[in-house]
Amino acid sequence: MARPITLFTGQWADLPFDEVCRLASEWGYDGLEIACWGDHFEVDRALADDSYVDRKRETLAKHNLKVFAISNHLVGQAVCDHPIDERHQDILPARIWGDGEPEGVRRRAAEEIKDTARAAARLGVDTVVGFTGSSIWHTLAMFPPVPPAMIERGYADFADRWNPILDVFDEVGVRFAHEVHPSEIAYDYWTTKRALEAVGHRPAFGLNWDPSHFVWQDLDPVNFILDFADRIYHVDCKDAKVRTGDGRRGRLSSHLPWADLRRGWDFVSTGHGDVPWEDCFRALNAIGYAGPISIEWEDAGMDRLVGAPEALQFVRRLAFDAPAAAFDAAFSSSRD
């Protein structure tokens, strides 16, 4: 059976949920990865109002869509982050931001991620996608010199804050799929290994594979799939285009905004960048990934109403199923 192809609604949260459902259905998507912001999925209301989840299901059914995961990247970011500042105030619900005192923000964010697991279970999905934040991302440049103990404290802080969250995920039968992404505790290959070690490789903590964050770091998204096969809990399809090589555009992109052609790389619509998509889908087949293929559409240089349906057609053409039997089985002369 073909894997469902879904649309992540995070970049569409300026539109009402019903409108996003209508668009996705008309384009031919099978379902949604629903973001926990805008009016798309409100965690507090899902737990406080017995009818809220039913109404969400009715809206999805009206448009012949299903839901396979919900995502709470914005609140998850605040669980471990340092510093907590006006950037977080801009993305967090007011009840999580509160008075802005950093440790209070982190504690409230952690409780909200626990509630996100409970709300996911009520909705009937078993995967929450999101970020973890990081107390040590700001040390990336390694200057002033960073003592190893400081890095170790960062992973210990992550484990201390996330293990109690993962206990709740275990209690309600939901998994967390961390998106490996710059600014998180796990942002590349080796930091992913360290993050998994920090929480004891517990099954509640897995990965959301999004190759757009790999290609501009010179990471191989195919080998990442193969090496972390048992941890790929969810797949997001987003692309990135690298434009370094002229001696002016660097990997760190110079604090320039998205779509500025002076940047060394940019997010682009799926199929327009440097991700080796066919090899990636073959690797997903090889590890037996049977979950949704979710298109996270981001391209500051393209109209999303053009890009989202085009991305769907691109992915549907390449995300073919593995064969039921090897092609050369037909050559065998043996018969049972």
54 has a pLDDT exceeding 80? yes
Supply the pLDDT for residue 9.
98
User: Which residues have C-beta within 8 Å of that of residue 206, sequence separation ≥ 6?
Assistant: 175, 176, 177, 178, 231, 232, 233, 234
pLDDT confidence bin for 48, thresholds 50/70/90: very high
Query: Which amino acid, 265?
Result: W
pLDDT confidence bin for 332, thresholds 50/70/90: low
Supply the pLDDT for residue 333.
64
Supply the pLDDT for residue 328.
66
335 has a pLDDT exceeding 70? no
Measured at the CA of 333, the angle between CA 330 and CA 336, to 5 degrees, comes to: 95
pLDDT confidence bin for 269, thresholds 50/70/90: very high
Query: Which amino acid, 63?
Result: H
Over residues 69-127, the pLDDT tens digits come to 999 999 999 999 999 999 999 999 999 999 999 999 999 999 999 999 999 999 999 99
Over residues 279-317, the pLDDT tens digits come to 999 999 999 999 999 999 999 999 999 999 999 999 999
Domain limits of the chain?
5-331
Supply the pLDDT for residue 329.
67
Q: Angle formed by the axes of helices 148-172 and 102-123, to 10°?
A: 30
The pLDDT mean for the chain works out to 96
CATH number of 5-331: 3.20.20.150
Residues in the chain, overall count: 336
326 has a pLDDT exceeding 80? no
Supply the pLDDT for residue 320.
84
Q: What Cα–Cα distance (Å) separates residue 161 from each residue in 133, 155, 164, 195, 199?
A: 11, 10, 6, 12, 10
The 3-class secondary structure across the chain, one letter per residue, is CCCCEEEECHHHCCCCHHHHHHHHHHHCCCEEEEECCCCCCCHHHHHHCCCHHHHHHHHHHHCCCEEEEEECHHHHHHHHCCCCCHHHHHHCCHHHHCCCCHHHHHHHHHHHHHHHHHHHHHHCCCEEEECCCCCCHHHCCCCCCCCHHHHHHHHHHHHHHHHHHHHHHHHHCCEEEEECCCCCCCCCHHHHHHHHHHCCCCCCEEEEECCHHHHCCCCCHHHHHHHCHHHEEEEEECEEEECCCCCCCCCCHHHCCCCCCCCCEEEECCCCCCCCHHHHHHHHHHCCCCCCEEECCCCCCCCHHHHHHHHHHHHHHHCCCCCCCCHHHHHCCCCC
Over residues 170-215, the pLDDT tens digits come to 999 999 999 999 999 999 999 999 999 999 999 999 999 999 999 9
* Mean pLDDT within 206-234: 98
pLDDT confidence bin for 1, thresholds 50/70/90: very low
What are the tokens at 169?
């995920």
d(C-alpha 177, C-alpha 158), whole Å? 15
d(C-alpha 257, C-alpha 261), whole Å? 9
